[in-house]
Amino acid sequence: MMLMTKEIKNKMPKLRTFEMTVAKEIPIAVKFFTPDSNWTWYATEGEEQEDGDWLFFGYVDGFEGELGYFTLNELKRVRGQLGLPVERDRYFGNKTLEQVMK
């Protein structure tokens, strides 16, 4: 499965777009998850880097929930308990940062 499609790349808000925005108004651009564990990454914004990797900012729900940065290459290396790779949730609806942080 492709984690980044042209459609996602074209509509991904640039880093720091929502810097001064309240969580209830920040949309989730893309959701990534491990199908065989409880880790989920919700990207709210991101930019392609000079080396071709993508740097995202968003909410990571793993051992704890936290806001922070993560890269596409990091996601590609992650494996769950059964060795399955990270997937993109193709059916994720329109949710805000506030909704996924609850």
Contact residues for 58 (Cβ-Cβ < 8 A; gap 6+): 28, 29, 41, 42, 43, 44, 45, 46, 67, 68, 70, 97
- Closest Cα partner for 33 from 101, 102, 86? 86
- Model-level pTM? 0.96
pLDDT of 38 reads 93
pLDDT of 34 reads 97
The parts of the chain modelled with pLDDT lower than 70 are none
d(CA 19, CA 25): 11
pLDDT of 12 reads 98
pLDDT of 1 reads 84
Contact predicate 45/58, CB 8 Å: yes
pLDDT of 70 reads 98
